[in-house]
Amino acid sequence: MNKILFLLIFFTQSFLFSKQIDLTEVEKKYLENKKSLNLCIDPSWMPYEKIENGKHIGMTADYIKLLEKNIQTEIKLVKTNTWSQSLEYGKQRKCDIFSLIMKIPSREVYLDFTKPYFDIPLVVSTQIDELFIRDITSLNNKNIGIVKDYAYAEIIKEKYPKINLIYVDNMEVGLEKLVKGEYFGFIGTLYTLGYQIQKEFLGKLKIAGKFDEKWELGIASRNDEPLLKSIFEKAILSIPKEEKQEILNKWLSIKFEKNYFTSMLGILFFSILIISIILLINKKLSSEIKKRKEAEKLLKLTITSANLGVWSWHSNTNKNEINDIWALILGYSKEEIEEGLDFFSFVHKEDIIKLDKALEKHDKDEKNQYQCEFRMRCKDGSYKWIYSNGKIVSRDENGKPSLIVGIHQDINDRKILELEVFKQKDLFIQQSRQAAMGEMLENIAHQWRQPLSVITTVASGLKITKELNTLTNEDIDYSMDRIIRSGMYLSQTIDDFRGFLNKDKIKTNVNIKKVIENSTYFYKTQFDNEEIDLVLNIDDCIINSYENELLQCILNIISNSVDALSTFDNKKKCIIIDIYKEGKSCIISIKDNARGIKEENLLKIFEPYFTTKHKSQGTGIGLYMSHEIITKHLHGKIEVENVSFKYLNEESRGACFKIILPKDVEDILE
């Protein structure tokens, strides 16, 4: 009876302790007037918190229930789809409090923060077959996933700037992308990653490394109502350690038993489990050794059947080892060239630089493996195209490659055919350019009419005034000035046209603004005749590329816009060209208000010989060749969609062509 009474008193005291908070009269009055508080959470962050079937679950949900009782005020969940949306709601004052959040400068603009009640290690997960990460700097230059707008994303970005962070909306999406190999690793907290891996990705992912940084999390409240911070500081302190541990155990499946016998049983069970695992591993190893020997036989057979030359290169000593097929590809026997083999002495002089760059990129971890296509000298003196693929398998104490292994494959027939196809495509581009030439000649003829008319009119005027004996020096000077200006205009037009006709492919630093000015210059007369407004929004953007080929693509797109606008009676016709930078790319956007392209034609627009024009007006190769040039020659992308926009305060709709070009083609080619 006494024991029952003691327990009753104990639980009553615990209950009262968890309920009573020493709030000031001002704080109590504030809560009475407030009546309820709006709560924002991370909707997908288990085991901490989650919105499931419209309800708040997880560790913080249990904390919020306790806090709700302690302050005797209803706390209502505000439903959001992502953490970014929750933060945005906080800025808009739709949330009074956040259940679990880290203090960083960007959030102090609109939030106050309590002392942390969670202190969580940061870790990185990888695919199951990756090695454990001893040094976080080994993640430099690797793509690593992380949830967008999480506080530790800012910390990692600042402290480890060489890690390439890839942002995702939530952890589930991030881990699914990691399984698919879209990046090397994913950063999160120990508990959340462990929870998700055990639940969804067991046997596929693992926790492979740990950061020195920890994530300190507490409650945040809107800073325009500062009483909330002091209320929740007191409310958190009112929660007993026992209840905190109980919540932690509930969601992390951790139970601490004080019974010695139970502990010994646990140790015994664990020992038996370890022994069983060791026996299983030994059995599996025996099986793996057998399988490996069989795999080695199969690999040798595959290499022989695929006619692959195998090589290994000790770069410190320049010692090389090859198989029979490596030598046979070049017309030698292995014995003829193995003695003192210098790999680079067989490579064509023009391809040495390309080979060096490929090896350098792999050495700097920019590429997972080394691969390159180059020519090698055969025994008969001819050259043969080789595809070479390899990987650094060991490094010396200074971190330099000491052993590289790989394969060689004879691709001479394929490469010759590929070069021939490329040559034919180049010819096709030239033919396309000639087709566009006729259209430009017509535009040039329009532009020449006015200056030619000026010249003939002035010359006729001079002749008449001379015959009438009224010719003065002033008349001659004025007339000559007009003739000279018109002649210079005609000369400039010829120079611009000659530049377009130049078929030499020379890669130069191309000023996009100049390309746009040159291309629109050819259509100036048509813009005037059709009453088309040309709107240019151009940032300075210089790329290393092929100017004439880019000019041809721009001309094709503008020509299509002019043709489309000429068929409509729009009062306000326009072509809008925007040029801007985005990362390592330059974006060219060309749109008009000719009502767009039919939806069924959008997917066909870049197909060869597809045209919506009459046969007498179009061949259907302009946009096809533009697509080929941009994707194959300029190593960029071209997209088209119908867009709606406002022009001169009126709703407009039309086609928008978007060209994405790398600033340096060499980066893509390598």
Compute CA distances 568 → 558, 596, 654, whole Å.
Answer: 16, 12, 12
- pLDDT of 2 strictly over 60: no
User: Token digits for 343?
Assistant: 């790999």
Highest average pLDDT, of 415-424, 616-625, 638-647, comes from 638-647
What gap in Å lies between CA 467 and CA 346, rounded to an integer? 81
Closest to 218 measured CA to CA, from 121, 75, 100, 63: 100
Confidence band for 482, pLDDT divided at 50, 70 and 90: low
Percent of the chain residues past pLDDT 90, beyond the cut: 13
* Domain layout of the chain by residue ranges: 119-217, 305-410, 413-503, 506-670
- pLDDT of 501 strictly over 80: no
CATH number of 119-217: 3.40.190.10
User: Token digits for 302?
Assistant: 């595959």
In the block, tokens 């007339």 appear at 479
pLDDT digits (tens, 9 = 90+) for 127-141: 887 877 877 778 888
pLDDT value at residue 333: 82
Which residues make beta-bridge pairs with 52?
55
Which residues make beta-bridge pairs with 127?
205
Closest to 185 measured CA to CA, from 134, 145, 212: 145
pLDDT value at residue 616: 39
Q: Quickly count: other Cβ atoms within 10 Å of residue 383's Cβ.
A: 17
Which residues make beta-bridge pairs with 54?
none
CA angle 33, 38, 42 (to 5 degrees): 160
For the domain 506-670, what is the CATH superfamily, name and number?
A: Histidine kinase-like ATPase, C-terminal domain (3.30.565.10)
pLDDT value at residue 7: 41
Q: Determine which of 138-142, 179-183, 241-245, 649-653 has the lowest per-residue pLDDT on average.
A: 241-245
SS3 300: helix
Q: Which residues contact residue 311 at a Cβ distance below 8 angstroms, ignoring those fewer than 6 apart?
A: 320, 321, 322, 323, 326, 343, 390, 405, 406, 407, 408
- pLDDT of 259 strictly over 60: no
Closest to 32 measured CA to CA, from 44, 24, 41: 24
At 62, give phi and psi (nearest 5°): -65, -40
Amino acid at 469: N
Task: Give the CB-side neighbour count of residue 548, counting CA atoms within 13 A.
Answer: 20
Which residues make beta-bridge pairs with 39?
77, 97
- pLDDT of 298 strictly over 70: no
- pLDDT of 106 strictly over 90: no
Compute CA distances 95 → 212, 225, 508, 653, whole Å.
Answer: 32, 12, 55, 39
pLDDT value at residue 588: 95
At 595, give phi and psi (nearest 5°): 75, 5
pLDDT value at residue 38: 92
What gap in Å lies between CA 653 and CA 573, rounded to an integer? 11
User: Token digits for 245?
Assistant: 């541990």
pLDDT value at residue 328: 85
Give the sign of the dihedral formed by CA 193, CA 198, CA 201, CA 207: positive
Confidence band for 420, pLDDT divided at 50, 70 and 90: confident
What gap in Å lies between CA 575 and CA 231, rounded to an integer? 59
Closest to 607 measured CA to CA, from 625, 590, 589, 630: 625
Establish whether domains 119-217 and 305-410 are of one fold.
no
Which of 560 and 319 is assigned the larger pLDDT?
560
User: Token digits for 396?
Assistant: 């010396």
Please give the helix or strand (H or E) that residue 416 lies within, else none. Answer: helix 412-467
Cis peptide, bond prior to residue 47, ω within 30 of zero: yes
Give the sign of the dihedral formed by CA 632, CA 638, CA 639, CA 640: negative
In the block, tokens 């210089």 appear at 542
pLDDT digits (tens, 9 = 90+) for 343-382: 788 889 888 888 888 888 888 776 678 888 899 999 888 9
Domain 413-503 CATH class label: mainly alpha
Please give the helix or strand (H or E) that residue 259 lies within, else none. Answer: none
Q: Determine which of 16-20, 44-48, 299-303, 320-324 has the lowest per-residue pLDDT on average.
A: 16-20
Q: Quickly count: other Cβ atoms within 10 Å of residue 602's Cβ.
A: 14
In the block, tokens 């409509």 appear at 568
CATH 3.40.50.300 fits 305-410, yes or no: no
Highest average pLDDT, of 151-155, 224-228, 612-616, comes from 224-228
| Helices 412-467, 547-566: crossing angle, 10 deg rounding | 60
HEC string for 596-649: CCCHHHHCCCCCCCCCCCCCCCCCCCHHHHHHHHHHHHCCCEEEEEEEEEEECC
What gap in Å lies between CA 92 and CA 38, rounded to an integer? 12
The one-character DSSP state at 379 is: T
Which of 204 and 271 is assigned the larger pLDDT?
204
User: Token digits for 451?
Assistant: 């200056």
At 351, give phi and psi (nearest 5°): -100, -5
- pLDDT of 620 strictly over 50: no
Highest average pLDDT, of 37-41, 116-120, 601-605, comes from 37-41
The one-character DSSP state at 89 is: H
Please give the helix or strand (H or E) that residue 224 lies within, else none. Answer: none
What gap in Å lies between CA 232 and CA 236, rounded to an integer? 6
Confidence band for 159, pLDDT divided at 50, 70 and 90: confident
What is the Cα gyration radius of the chain?
A: 37
At 400, give phi and psi (nearest 5°): -85, 145
Q: Which residues contact residue 93 at a Cβ distance below 8 angstroms, ignoring those fewer than 6 apart?
A: 110, 222, 224
Confidence band for 258, pLDDT divided at 50, 70 and 90: very low
- pTM, rounded to two decimals: 0.36
What gap in Å lies between CA 288 and CA 302, rounded to an integer? 20
Compute CA distances 290 → 129, 276, 283, 295, whole Å.
Answer: 20, 21, 11, 9
Which of 589 and 434 is assigned the larger pLDDT?
589
Task: Give the CB-side neighbour count of residue 20, counting CA atoms within 13 A.
Answer: 7
What gap in Å lies between CA 152 and CA 621, rounded to an integer? 51
What gap in Å lies between CA 599 and CA 590, rounded to an integer? 18
DSSP track, 486-519: HHHHHHHHHHHHHHHH-----EEEEEHHHHHHHH
Which residues make beta-bridge pairs with 651?
646
Compute CA distances 397 → 133, 288, 394, whole Å.
Answer: 18, 31, 10
pLDDT digits (tens, 9 = 90+) for 627-636: 888 888 888 9
pLDDT value at residue 573: 92
End-to-end CA distance of the chain: 84
Q: Determine which of 67-71, 80-84, 272-276, 501-505 has the lowest per-residue pLDDT on average.
A: 501-505
pLDDT value at residue 636: 93
Contact 216, 100 (CB under 8 A): no
Helices (H), 322-409: 324-329, 334-338, 352-363
